[in-house]
Structure 1
């Protein structure tokens, strides 16, 4: 019952932290959760916590590292892999040695082996804290990749170094050669195990989906089960479970391919479950850290034989050693790194020193460090108590708190966040994807699917317009310019047709007069529309002259027509063509002109002269005018068009996903942006059955 009460209290604290973080945005969520953990630990109804480090690694660290590895931008990680591995292995070992000897020299009561164990535990950075840095800080993609890559790989080096230091402290014997061999075996073995399991899991996921056996429930359960299987399986083979989880997370794909509402619904539920689980586990980790800190520090703080001032001084010294070592190690690596374009080493400019400082404070210590410290045995060989065990835990706890505070309050000063709206950054990319989708759909228009295609294109055009309004990039003047250009295309079509009719000597005279009259009426309508359209480029005088000329031409044509009819009446002869025939032919010529303009607009969508959404919007306007001129379609035809449009809509989702993948592979967008775009498409897929 106590375990259940503890779980409920932790969940309540996590929920409360999500609300409190909104009111104190300048304090990172991990710090809020640690403070809540400290407060909750003082409540009388909270049971005492006894942390089992192995269980803690399985239940919390394994799934979090697995998700972090899966979500990381792989291409960015490869670019910074050397620096990340240098920090994860080289810096971790250097920190172990520096902290160990410095602590032993400053406080000789701490044995060297025990001091080295503390240094090894302070090597790993906290992946959860790295991904939850202060909201006011803005790190570059490279800096985040380095920090996340380091936090994924440095756990193995820290854990192995810690284990051998503790073994030396307990037995009094330390075999460097044996420790090195075991570290290599653990590192490589864990990586290979994770890769093998990932390949098998990918094949299973693909087979289950292709056979139609996948359901949302089974898929999500398989994904959640995998990190625990990986960690426990690797530990059975005496290799690094942490590295097995990381290697699998980097390799596995989860097979999110496929089009249709069912596939999209599965992908959305999976992403949502992982999102909730990630936040819950992250919060629980720091809540537990806060609940453990008071007890971890109380024994040393209340010891009358140890000066509290000495403890504080040692914490500050160790924190200083860790930070200074990290800063100069990163600066050295940046100095040695070669430019990807020139191949030359670059000098340390102010910006590069600032980058080194950002990555120094961006690597706080956290739960891995504290969980390792709790594994320190109570006794050494011979039955004597492990020397300075409580003091070592106290020092580690203090360093964790200091590094988290420094990350929270110094990072915003070093890397201020000037772009708080991350969603707005994605809107231009989304617009590009939608435009490319419209252009692809336009190229697939045929006589049979034209109406359905235009219905889908209209929905995409409206989405683009709404997105552009959100970021204030609407361009009504551009749309007006395109409208005027379309009128000129209509005028050219009518004039060319009129010239062909007048040049045709084989045509019947009545037919020729009918065509000429229809063309002239169409030209009158177009010129009248152009006269009333004004752009920013038109001057007042030029616009007036154009109106006068147009009205004179219209008056001249109407006068000529009236004269012909008057002569026919005087002679009591029947005109060659009737008004009804002229009206019918004019309508047909308007339809032909509209079709001509639509074809021109479809061609323009593959060019850069006009915006794609303007072209598609004007196509819809002309199509509506065409529908009014033609006979109204039957209900059966409308229903068939709607069903066809639904099929086209589903096809368009596949086009969108393909465009996103191409943009990601070409380096136009990051993995995180591609993942967000795919998530939006999945949401649209779920609603596909509801129609356009």
Structure 2
């Protein structure tokens, strides 16, 4: 029961950290989780329980490494493979040796094998921590690729080195030749085991899919089961379970094969499940780190034989060794590396020194380091307590916290995110958002909504094509202002038409109601788009928004009341939805003609850029041609309602994609706001296909 309460406390703290991080974006989520872990230990109902170290390794390491290997960009990994492997293997071994020998020399009470184990545990970096470092640092794609590739491979090298050093500390016997041979055997055989099991898993998954046996539930359960099977199976054969998990994760490809809505839907659900699991496991590790700090600190500080000042000094010393060695290594690799274009080595400029510093502080310690330290046994093979276990965990925890703090506060200074949304930056990001939206929409096609979804997908395809043509646009804000002005022209036209209709009512009551209803619906649509597209945050504008929403709600309630009364009286409404839809489209064509005329007038003036007027004119002409080409605009209200529903759903998908990109650190907060606003501005283009 105590273990169950411990798990509940950890989950609650992880959930709370996700909320807190939204309000303090400049502080990384791991730091928030560590602080929550410290605080939760002082709660009166906090249970006094501990997790089995071996269980901790299997439960956290296996799924996290599998996901990291499977999700990494393979093409980006190949481009930076040499530098990543140099950091992952060479630097990890150098860190293990430097920390081990220096720590043993400064504090002889820690055996050399235990010090080497600590050095090996401090080799791996935490790419997840980097991606959540306040979102204020701007790392290049190459820097991100190097750090993620290093994190993937040095996990394996650091863990294998840690296991051998820990075995030597546990038994008190360490033979270099035998350890080297076992290391090579474990490395090669662990990799082969992972590749074989990965190939077999690919065949099983694809066979189940081809036979039609795959369901979302079975697929996700099998996928979640795979990393545990890999790790435990490799350990049974006495080879590296970590390398088996990494090799299989890189080799797995079953979720990249197969077509159809069911496959796409299953992939989407699988991605969501893995996203939640990854955040939960990483968060749980940092929460546990915070929980461990008070106990380790109290045990160390209460020991009269250990100087508190010396303990803090050791943490600073080990952190300095890790940081300085990493900076020297990265700088040397940048100096030795040859330019891909010229094939020559480049001198170290100020920018390259800054890049070396970014990649130095961009590799904080985190999940893997702490997980390894938790696996240190409580007793040696002889039955006596493991010497300095609490102190080793405390030193590792202190180094993790210090590297996270350095990364959190120094990275934004070394690589500031200035928030300049230039066209070269925004267009590829926008295209990526639209492509992700199309992929998710494709997975939601059913026989009933096929036509509507395909029409919306066609709109997105046209938007992507037009964005590609505008990559050279020099003033995207100017085009956006013209789009908003064109919406105001449409609003004025429809408002004048509505006023004229009410001033000169038609002889037929049904015709009058049809004209008024069509104008009001179109006016609501334009006003809604303008409210979302406007960047004015003044109080006057806010009041105007509230009034506009109130008027729109009042009209909708009035229309709903009319139709409800008709149903109660069992009378037929004067106009049908098909008639309203057809009349609305007719007014829309007239409004488009009005805007085209205004754009033609603007092209001869200096108010707006001629290229902007020409581009927007082309968009409106496409919309006009699309509307006039439809042979029968009546009888299709149901289809149009479906399309409108799909469009609203697609906008929700876009917003979700943008939020995911922001949380992953791919875009800045300013870019996120611009993309969100553009969703509503681009409604003019989205309607072109209908």
TM-score w.r.t. length of structure 2: 0.66
Q: Give the equivalent residue in structure 2 for 1:365.
A: 365
1:569-580 equivalence runs, <5 A? none
Residue 255 of structure 1: SS of its match in structure 2?
helix
How far did residue 610 of structure 1 move?
7.4
Contact 2:53–2:377 (CA under 8 A) maintained in structure 1: no
How far apart are the structure 2 equivalents of 1:49 and 1:103?
31
Contact 1:297–1:393 (CA under 8 A) maintained in structure 2: no
Contact 2:2–2:49 (CA under 8 A) maintained in structure 1: no
How far did residue 379 of structure 1 move?
4.6
Residue 108 of structure 1: SS of its match in structure 2?
coil
Q: Give the equivalent residue in structure 1 for 2:431.
A: 429
- Long gaps (5+) in structure 2: 440-450, 487-594, 607-612, 651-663, 676-688
Q: Give the equivalent residue in structure 1 for 2:166.
A: 166
1:618 corresponds, among 610, 616, 621, to: 621
Residue 212 of structure 2: SS of its match in structure 1?
coil
In structure 2, the CA distance between the partners of 1:341 and 1:174, relative to structure 1 (3 Å rule), is same
Superposed CA deviations along residues 56-91 of structure 1, whole A, max 9, x for unmatched, are 122122112211222211111111111111112111
How far did residue 375 of structure 1 move?
3.4
Contact 1:361–1:411 (CA under 8 A) maintained in structure 2: yes
Q: Give the equivalent residue in structure 1 for 2:86.
A: 86
1:407-486 equivalence runs, <5 A? 407-419=407-419, 428-429=430-431, 473-474=479-480
Greater displacement, 390-399 / 259-268: 259-268
1:673-692 equivalence runs, <5 A? none
How far apart are the structure 2 equivalents of 1:391 and 1:270?
41
Residue 102 of structure 2: SS of its match in structure 1?
helix
How far did residue 41 of structure 1 move?
1.3
How far did residue 370 of structure 1 move?
2.9
Q: Give the equivalent residue in structure 1 for 2:193.
A: 193
How far did residue 470 of structure 1 move?
10
How far did residue 279 of structure 1 move?
1.6
Q: Give the equivalent residue in structure 2 for 1:35.
A: 35
Residue 317 of structure 1: SS of its match in structure 2?
helix
Q: Give the equivalent residue in structure 2 for 1:295.
A: 295
Superposed CA deviations along residues 196-247 of structure 1, whole A, max 9, x for unmatched, are 2222222223222233222222222222222222221222222222222222
How far apart are the structure 1 equivalents of 2:204 and 2:111?
51
Q: Give the equivalent residue in structure 2 for 1:283.
A: 283
Superposed CA deviations along residues 143-169 of structure 1, whole A, max 9, x for unmatched, are 111111112111232223223333333
How far apart are the structure 1 equivalents of 2:62 and 2:47?
25
- Long gaps (5+) in structure 1: 438-449, 481-528, 541-608, 654-669, 678-690
Residue 254 of structure 2: SS of its match in structure 1?
coil
1:346-357 equivalence runs, <5 A? 346-357=346-357
How far apart are the structure 1 equivalents of 2:104 and 2:639?
79
Contact 1:461–1:617 (CA under 8 A) maintained in structure 2: no
How far apart are the structure 1 equivalents of 2:434 and 2:377?
59
Q: Give the equivalent residue in structure 2 for 1:215.
A: 215
1:201-240 equivalence runs, <5 A? 201-240=201-240
1:624-639 equivalence runs, <5 A? 624-625=627-628
Contact 2:319–2:403 (CA under 8 A) maintained in structure 1: yes
Superposed CA deviations along residues 454-505 of structure 1, whole A, max 9, x for unmatched, are 997568668999999997744969x99xxxxxxxxxxxxxxxxxxxxxxxxx
How far did residue 275 of structure 1 move?
1.6
How far did residue 307 of structure 1 move?
1.1
In structure 2, the CA distance between the partners of 1:262 and 1:371, relative to structure 1 (3 Å rule), is closer
How far apart are the structure 1 equivalents of 2:358 and 2:298?
33
How far apart are the structure 2 equivalents of 1:454 and 1:112?
68
Q: Give the equivalent residue in structure 2 for 1:568.
A: none
RMSD: 4.4
How far apart are the structure 2 equivalents of 1:533 and 1:384?
86
Q: Give the equivalent residue in structure 2 for 1:25.
A: 25
Contact 2:70–2:249 (CA under 8 A) maintained in structure 1: yes
In structure 2, the CA distance between the partners of 1:634 and 1:98, relative to structure 1 (3 Å rule), is closer
The alignment covers a number of residue pairs equal to 523
In structure 2, the CA distance between the partners of 1:341 and 1:9, relative to structure 1 (3 Å rule), is same
Greater displacement, 186-195 / 341-350: 186-195
How far apart are the structure 2 equivalents of 1:128 and 1:293?
21
How far apart are the structure 2 equivalents of 1:421 and 1:20?
27
Residue 137 of structure 2: SS of its match in structure 1?
coil
In structure 2, the CA distance between the partners of 1:228 and 1:425, relative to structure 1 (3 Å rule), is farther
How far did residue 114 of structure 1 move?
2.5
Contact 1:465–1:474 (CA under 8 A) maintained in structure 2: no
In structure 2, the CA distance between the partners of 1:429 and 1:532, relative to structure 1 (3 Å rule), is closer
Contact 1:461–1:616 (CA under 8 A) maintained in structure 2: no
How far apart are the structure 1 equivalents of 2:597 and 2:313?
85
How far did residue 32 of structure 1 move?
0.2
Contact 2:27–2:133 (CA under 8 A) maintained in structure 1: no
1:544-563 equivalence runs, <5 A? none
How far apart are the structure 2 equivalents of 1:378 and 1:132?
33
Q: Give the equivalent residue in structure 2 for 1:156.
A: 156
Q: Give the equivalent residue in structure 1 for 2:315.
A: 315
Q: Give the equivalent residue in structure 1 for 2:326.
A: 326
How far apart are the structure 2 equivalents of 1:139 and 1:388?
39
Contact 2:87–2:150 (CA under 8 A) maintained in structure 1: yes
Superposed CA deviations along residues 283-333 of structure 1, whole A, max 9, x for unmatched, are 111111111122122211111121111111111111111111111011111
How far apart are the structure 2 equivalents of 1:139 and 1:320?
23
How far apart are the structure 2 equivalents of 1:107 and 1:456?
65
Greater displacement, 413-422 / 287-296: 413-422
Q: Give the equivalent residue in structure 2 for 1:99.
A: 99
Residue 255 of structure 2: SS of its match in structure 1?
coil
How far apart are the structure 2 equivalents of 1:310 and 1:282?
31
How far apart are the structure 1 equivalents of 2:219 and 2:382?
52
Contact 1:202–1:252 (CA under 8 A) maintained in structure 2: yes
Contact 1:30–1:283 (CA under 8 A) maintained in structure 2: yes
Q: Give the equivalent residue in structure 2 for 1:543.
A: none
Q: Give the equivalent residue in structure 1 for 2:539.
A: none
